[in-house]
């Protein structure tokens, strides 16, 4: 299964009773392992958790901590980028040259690097003196 296929498959599993906006994400770790996640909403937190955060949690639980590639899919007119919080979370595990491909269900796509998605990101190197 390709990374795009994994993101599309998990997008269908999203639990979004409030927004009805399903998002799926798949991460390929440097190890080659693939992890996926979908957005989840609940009554106490109706904006929910993001698909990217779910995929990152699965990756860390699986023993990987370095991202090689990301795919995000949503049923929207234009490719949907990760939210600001997820961009920072992704950047924690992905270098500036890692690509993030954003897909729509009708085949549109946009690929950007982490640096283009989150220029000037806060990184571990900022804490060298800590």
Domain ranges of the chain: 3-127
**52, 66, 69, 115: which one is catalytic?**
52
**For each of the chain's 130 residues, which pLDDT tens digit applies?**
899 999 999 999 999 999 999 999 999 999 999 999 999 998 877 777 899 999 999 999 999 999 999 999 999 999 999 999 999 999 999 999 999 999 999 999 999 999 999 998 888 788 888 8
Nearest to 94 by CA among 66, 117, 116: 66
The answer to whether the annotation marks 40 as part of a ligand binding site is yes
39 labelled ligand-binding = yes
Buried b (16+ CB within 10 A) or exposed e, 4-25: eebbbebbeebeeeeeeebbbb
**Closest among 53, 42, 54 to 15, alpha carbons compared:** 42
> Is 45 labelled a binding residue?
yes
What pLDDT sits at residue 125? 82
Burial class of 40 by CB neighbour count within 10 A (0 to 12, 13 to 18, 19+)? middle
Given this model, what pLDDT does residue 108 score? 97
pLDDT at res. 111: 98
- Has 115 been annotated as catalytic? no
pLDDT at residue 124 in the model: 79
3-127 CATH choice from 3.40.140.10, 3.10.20.340, 1.20.120.1200, 3.40.640.10? 3.40.140.10
Structure tokens at 70: 């990301």
The answer to the question of whether 43 is labelled as a binding residue is yes
């Amino acid at each position: 299964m390709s990374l795009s296929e994994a993101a599309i498959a998990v997008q269908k599993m999203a639990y979004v009773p409030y927004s009805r906006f399903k998002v799926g994400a798949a991460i390929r770790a440097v190890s080659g392992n693939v992890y996926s996640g979908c957005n989840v909403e609940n009554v106490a937190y109706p904006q929910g958790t993001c698909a990217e955060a779910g995929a990152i949690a699965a990756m860390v639980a699986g023993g990987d901590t370095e991202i090689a590639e990301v795919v995000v899919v949503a049923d929207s007119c234009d490719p949907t980028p990760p939210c600001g919080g997820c961009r920072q979370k992704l950047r924690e595990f992905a270098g500036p040259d890692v690509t993030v491909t954003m897909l729509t269900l009708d085949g549109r796509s946009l690929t950007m690097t982490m640096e283009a998605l989150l220029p000037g990101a806060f990184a571990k190197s900022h804490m060298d003196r800590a």
